[in-house]
Amino acid sequence: MNTMSESLQKLQNRILSDARLKAQETIKEAQANAQQTLEEARRRAQKESEEIIAKARVEAENVRRSILSSKVRVNRLRILDEKNRIVQDIIHTVEDQLSSIATTDQFENTAQRFVAEAVKAVESDQPIVRIGFKDATKKNLDGMSRVLPKGGKLVIDEKPIDDFGGVIATDPEGRVVFNNTFKSRLERLDNQLLTLIASTVFSE
Spans of all domains in the chain: 1-72, 100-202
The alpha carbon of residue 40 and the mean position of all alpha carbons in its chain are separated, in whole angstroms, by 54
In this structure, are residues 202 and 83 in contact, taking their beta carbons and an 8 Å threshold?
yes
In this structure, are residues 157 and 133 in contact, taking their beta carbons and an 8 Å threshold?
no
Residue 114: Cβ-neighbour burial (10 angstroms; 0-12, 13-18, 19+): buried
Give the other-Cβ count within 10 Å of 98's Cβ. 21
Q: What is the pLDDT of residue 167?
A: 94
In Å, what is the CA distance from 167 to each residue of 85, 96, 149, 159? 29, 17, 16, 12
Q: What is the pLDDT of residue 72?
A: 81
DSSP letter at 3 equals: H
Q: What is the 3-state secondary structure (H, E, C) of 34-72?
A: HHHHHHHHHHHHHHHHHHHHHHHHHHHHHHHHHHHHHHH
Instruction: Give dist(CA 172, CA 185) in Å, integer.
Output: 23
Q: What is the pLDDT of residue 99?
A: 84
Nearest to 143 by CA among 169, 104, 110, 176: 110
- What would be the CATH architecture of the domain defined by 100-202? 2-Layer Sandwich (3.30)
**What predicted TM-score, i.e. pTM, was given to this entire model?**
0.57
Which stretch of DSSP H or E encloses residue 179? strand 177-181
Local confidence pLDDT in tens for the 204 residues of the chain = 556 666 777 777 777 777 788 878 888 887 877 788 778 767 886 787 677 777 767 776 777 787 877 788 888 888 888 888 888 888 888 888 888 898 888 888 999 999 999 999 999 999 999 999 998 887 778 778 888 888 999 998 889 998 899 999 999 998 999 999 999 988 888 778 778 887 887 875
